[in-house]
């Protein structure tokens, strides 16, 4: 993973996270809490920092939902589908029944750009863990990794050839896409989320037992969002996860 600039971080082989827009700051969080008393700060003070720490510690999360960020993400489908459940789950936070979060994804019913696939390098294939039904264990030996990387490239090439053939004879794109390997194919979407939702995602997906690929995206999100909300992110994130 490499950072190109303050708004874009490359992830995996062809992926990236881009910060498109931000609404609010740490001061937004503090003032959203103080509106109950018809008070507001003009600039962030130590008192505001203590208030943000109190809100995070005591679980008073609504002020953190007044700060919003929008990201553009390009990631393998297996990452996108893990990520999607946070968008759905946010609708039920604190029993609100509604959500400020939004997700809009490109579709191969309409988009016919060249497909891109995530292929682990020969040294990136992981074994299954010994004591868990999910997650990963140690990396496979290099010679085994080389075999599976080569075979995956071959399978993708064959599937892309079938996809292009189907498109060329006039099969509808929404059916032609069935020939493309799904889980490794890159998809692109916009994710707009409250600061609370972003930090909830980070707290879970930066954990050591999270899938390595989505961990890489979580690190990119943290790199991009933390400079805008250094106090709030520091208080909402579990200690040791940053």
Residues in the chain, pLDDT under 70 = 1-6, 88-100, 109-112, 132-134, 239-242
Geometric angle at alpha carbon 64, from 62 and 70, rounded to 5°: 125
Q: Residue 94: how many CB atoms within 10 A of its CB?
A: 11
Task: Give the model's pLDDT for residue 224.
Answer: 97
The per-residue pLDDT for 241 is: 56
What is the DSSP secondary-structure string of 182-215?
Answer: STTBEEEEEEEEEHHHHHHHHHHHTSTTS-HHHH
Distance CA 223, CA 4 (A): 11
> Quick one: pLDDT at residue 203?
93
| Cβ atoms 189, 206 nearer than 8 A | no
Tokens coding 50 = 């203590």
HSE-CB for 164 with a 13 A CA cutoff: 9
**CA–CA separation, 118 and 104 (whole Å):** 21
Task: Kindly calculate the radius of gyration of the chain based on its CA atoms and give it in whole angstroms.
Answer: 21
In the DSSP assignment, the letter for residue 62 is G
- The per-residue pLDDT for 94 is 47
Cβ atoms of 219 and 211 within 8 Å: the answer is no
DSSP helix, strand, coil percent of the chain (3-state; round to 5): 50, 20, 35
Residue 101: its pLDDT value, please? 77
pLDDT single digits (tens) 193-230: 999 999 999 999 999 888 999 999 999 999 999 999 99
pTM across the whole model: 0.86
Per the residue annotation, which of 34, 47, 50, 205 is the catalytic one? Answer: 205
> For this structure, is 50 an active site residue?
no
Strand-pairing partners, residue 3, are 9
């Amino acid at each position: 993973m490499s950072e190109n600039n303050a708004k874009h971080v490359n992830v995996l082989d062809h992926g990236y996270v881009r910060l498109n827009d931000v609404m609010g700051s740490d001061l937004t969080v503090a003032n959203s809490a103080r509106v109950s008393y018809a008070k507001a700060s003009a600039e962030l003070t130590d008192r505001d920092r203590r208030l943000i720490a109190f809100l995070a510690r005591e679980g008073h999360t609504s002020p953190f939902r007044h700060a919003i960020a929008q990201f553009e993400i390009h990631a393998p489908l297996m990452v996108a589908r893990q990520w999607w459940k946070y968008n759905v789950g946010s609708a039920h936070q604190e029993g609100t029944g509604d959500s400020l979060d939004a997700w809009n994804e490109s579709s191969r019913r309409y988009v016919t750009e060249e497909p891109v696939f995530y292929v682990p390098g020969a040294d990136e294939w992981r074994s299954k863990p010994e004591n868990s039904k999910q997650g990963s264990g140690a990396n496979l030996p290099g010679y085994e990794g080389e075999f599976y990387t080569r075979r995956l490239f071959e399978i993708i090439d064959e599937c892309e050839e079938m996809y292009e053939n189907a498109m060329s004879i006039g099969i509808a794109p929404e059916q032609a896409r069935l020939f493309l390997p799904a889980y490794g194919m890159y998809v692109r979407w916009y994710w707009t989320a409250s600061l609370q939702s972003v930090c909830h995602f980070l707290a879970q997906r930066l954990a050591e037992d999270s899938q390595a690929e989505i961990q890489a995206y979580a690190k990119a999100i943290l790199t991009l969002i933390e400079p805008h909300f250094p106090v709030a992110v520091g208080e909402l994130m579990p200690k040791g996860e940053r």
